[in-house]
Each structure stands twice: as structure tokens, then as C-alpha cells.
Amino acid sequence: MTFSASWHNLLENAEELPPDATLLTPLSRKPFRITDVQEHRILIEYREDDGTEPLQREQFETLYDRVTEGWGGFDLDNLPPNAEPYATVLSLHPRFQIDDREGMLSETETPKSSPLVDAHEVESDEAERGEPNISVYSDALLLIDELEQNDPSDLEELETPTLVNLYTLLSDVQRNADNLRQDVRSVLLDRLHHDQPISGQYGSVQRTSRSNRSLKNENEVLELLTEAGIERERVTSVDASKVDDALEVVELSESDVYNIEESEYVRKAEVDEESKETRLQGLKDRLAATDENTEDLQEEIEALEQRIDDLTSFDSASSFHTNLSGEP
């Protein structure tokens, strides 16, 4: 197929895109959209910039030649500066595809949609919102409800049970959010194959690396350092684990060999999952009824929430008074 035929095919596919479709550049992941399709160029607009940028037909032809003449496709790392959107737009053509993980633009005999277009279309406000079945969502919903009922800007004014609720939910959200973060990180690592940052709506990420060191065989290291003129005493130190073993067989106390500093902290002892689930169900029902005229259901939810408050709260002043007086 000649480039002229491919060009007109590309123009047709570009015109068929939804007006709110968002495209991403393959390396830097900058979002942009197509604003106009003309005979000799395609106009695009970056989300964070004002004004349009023309993508010229001649440049598409150059990229077309590089892809079709090269063995195995075209390495996206070889794109000239500011040429990334050409690769994304060319992938709208059914004969060209971007391998998002390998960073290659190549011809294909099995047409499929571009991963930099279809997966990143802007959702309309009327799009149906689903409820994800993950722990952090439920805990975050409960935490939001608690924060809406109790202003955390002045913690000293909050009752002790409220502080306990906040601490418990914050702890659960932190743990579950970190678990989800690690899962997301594992998937992202397979897709970040360049040093350039990849941007999303709320931020950007970049692949990086770090080295973890561990000493080789102790005798081998000491011999090498001795040969280099370093005295053994300068690099040897007391092993804490061996000191602990020694304390068990000698008449020395722990304070004789350790500097000990005591610190106090709050630890989450247990979580009342049943109360959390009951409150959560009430919140879900309330959210589901937001757009409906369900006054009876709303009253039932509020009554249920009041019962939960009565069962899970206590009079802190009365409790402290009882403990101090020693009377039941």
C-alpha cells in the first residue's frame, strides 16, 4: 500500500475519534487531543498548553518509511524531539501498532486499537460509577464519613472514642493503600521502560533503580583491606546479636552495654469489623439513594447509624471518674 492510500486511511480514522478522546504520547505520556483533520496536516492540542500544534503530512511519511523499511519496526527511543505525537496518531491506522511495553512502532497484519487512545478516553460525567471490591475503598469511605462528622482541625476537642475511630481507620487505610500501591507499582514497572517521566492527571512517575549492598565473605574483605594498608581494628565492630548471646552467660545487665531510651506510642489493638461493615452498608445505601426520592429509607439509615453510635460510644467523663474513685 502506498503512503498516499495509508494517509487517507489515517485521516479517516482520526476523524472517527470521539471529540473528547484523549491520546497520549508514547514516551512522556503527555495527554493531547485531535482538534482538526485537514488534507495535509492534523492539528492537535496538548491538555496543559494553549493553542494548537500542526502535525504535517511530510513528517508522517518520513515516519512511515522508517517503520516500513526497518526490520522489526521502529524504536520509539529514536524519535526526534517533539515528534512523539506522530507515533501515537500513526497508530490509529489499522496497519500500525505501538507495543507499549517494548517501546516499538511496527506494522501488523492483525489490526487492533491503539493502547494510547482507547484506554485513555475521557469519561463523561454521566458515566456509570462502579464500586471496586477492594479493602482500601471501604475503609476510605468510612474515614471520609468520620472526618465529615468530626472536624480534625482541632483534635484536642474531640472525644476519646472519636480519636480511636480516626486512628483505627487511618491505620487501615494506610495499610491497605500501601498494599494496593505495591500492586500498582508491580504493573507499572512492566510499562516504564524509559528514563522519561510518565504523567497522569494527578502527577507523574519515573522508573528508577537503587543498589542494595551486602559485604562479601568477612575474611576475604579483611584480607583485601589489610593488603591495602587498612588496619583490621578500623573496620571491625561489635556484633549486637553476639553481644545478646554473651549477656545470657555473664553477670552483666542490658543497660551495662546498651544505651536504652524508652518511648511510648499508640498501637491498634483490634478492629471491630462488624461495626465497620454495618456503618459501611449504611453509607452505601445512602449513596445509592442520593438521586432517588427515598425519605423512608433515609430515616431508617439515620436510625441505624444512631444505634451504632449508642452501642459503640461511652461517656468518657463518667468512665474517668469511676476509675479514679475506685467505685463501680
Which range of 133-147, 179-193, 207-221, 267-281 scores highest in mean pLDDT? It is: 133-147
Total domain count for the chain? 3
Q: Is residue 279 part of a domain?
A: yes
Q: Is residue 216 part of a domain?
A: no
Q: Whole-model pTM? A: 0.45
CB 25 within 8 A of CB 32: yes
- Band (120; pLDDT cuts 50, 70, 90): very low
Query: In the predicted model, what is the mean pLDDT of residues 147-170?
Result: 91
Q: Is residue 217 part of a domain?
A: no
Within 8 A by CB and 6+ apart from 136, the residues are 173, 176, 177, 179, 180
- Band (268; pLDDT cuts 50, 70, 90): low
- The single residue listed with the C-alpha cell 581494628 is 233
Q: Is residue 116 part of a domain?
A: yes
Helix (H, G, I), strand (E, B) or coil at 253: coil
Backbone φ and ψ for 204, nearest 5 degrees, come out as -145, 155
Among the residue ranges 32-36, 130-134, 172-176, 313-317, the one predicted with the least confidence is: 313-317
Q: Is residue 234 part of a domain?
A: no
> pLDDT tens digits, residue range 219-250?
887 888 788 887 877 877 777 777 788 878 87
Tell me, yes or no, whether 104 and 155 share the same domain: no
Range of the structural domain that residue 145 is part of: 135-205
Look at residues 171, 205, 239 and tell me which one is the last residue of a structural domain. 205
Tell me, yes or no, whether 177 and 69 share the same domain: no
Whole-angstrom Cα distance, residue 13 to residue 89? 9
